[in-house]
């Protein structure tokens, strides 16, 4: 990168601290909800994932809704949440694993890179692992690209990092 050139990375990742905060709020709400007193419903951490369990599909969907509402309030994009299959668990309960998307898949990064190039901004773009690096001599051009990317209807959420 030449001196006098600015850049940023386009990434797709969740803020793990916000996920943890939403998780804690959901656990607290589940514990205090009258309709879940004595229930086998639970929300647990499993590494970077969240595991929810309940007596049946209906209860599981209620637990999922509690967690989802907390995630949305903490500005975790719904596009970043992947729901696993509902599976039988211990005894007569069902469980579901919720994972969070981290990083752009190579095909997504290439497609995004192509869309930016086709828009003919005065910037250089390059796929770097699970991110797209955008660089330019003008901060204004970089801001135009940010606005362009925010306006795209992508199947994933985007964040801008390493702004230099």
For residue 161, the cross-strand partners are 9
pLDDT tens string 18-72: 999 999 999 999 999 999 998 889 999 988 899 999 999 999 999 999 999 999 9
Cα end-to-end span (Å), the chain: 11
pLDDT tens string 34-45: 999 988 899 999
Phi, psi (degrees; rounded to nearest 5) at 54: -165, 175
Phi, psi (degrees; rounded to nearest 5) at 59: -65, -40
- Is pLDDT at 105 greater than 90 in this prediction? no
Write the CA distances from 30 to 20, 37, 155, integer angstroms: 15, 9, 30
Phi, psi (degrees; rounded to nearest 5) at 161: -130, 175
Instruction: Please give the helix or strand (H or E) that residue 120 lies within, else none.
Output: none
Q: Band the pLDDT of 4: cuts 50, 70, 90.
A: low
pTM for the structure as a whole: 0.81
Domains of the chain: 6-13+103-161 (3.30.70.860), 16-100 (3.30.70.990)
Q: Is residue 91 classed exposed, middle or buried when 0-12, 13-18 and 19+ CB atoms within 10 A define those classes?
A: exposed
Mark residue 136 as left, alpha or beta (left: phi above 0; alpha: psi -120 to 50; beta: remaining). Answer: beta
- What pLDDT is recorded for position 92? 85
């Amino acid at each position: 990168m030449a001196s006098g050139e600015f850049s940023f990375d386009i990434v797709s990742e969740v803020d793990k601290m916000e996920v943890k905060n939403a998780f804690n709020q959901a656990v607290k709400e589940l514990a205090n909800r009258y309709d879940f007193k004595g229930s086998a419903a639970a929300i647990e951490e499993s590494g970077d994932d969240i595991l929810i369990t309940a007596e049946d599909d209906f209860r599981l969907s209620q637990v999922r809704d509690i967690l989802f509402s907390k995630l949305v309030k903490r500005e975790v994009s719904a596009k970043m949440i992947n729901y696993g299959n509902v599976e039988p668990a211990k005894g007569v309960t069902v469980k579901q694993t919720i994972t969070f998307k981290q990083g752009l898949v190579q095909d997504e990064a290439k497609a995004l890179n192509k869309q930016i190039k086709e828009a003919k901004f005065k910037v250089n773009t390059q796929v770097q692992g699970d991110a797209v690096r955008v660089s330019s001599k003008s901060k204004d051009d970089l801001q135009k690209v940010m606005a362009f990317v925010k306006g795209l209807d992508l199947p994933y959420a985007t964040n801008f990092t390493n702004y230099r």
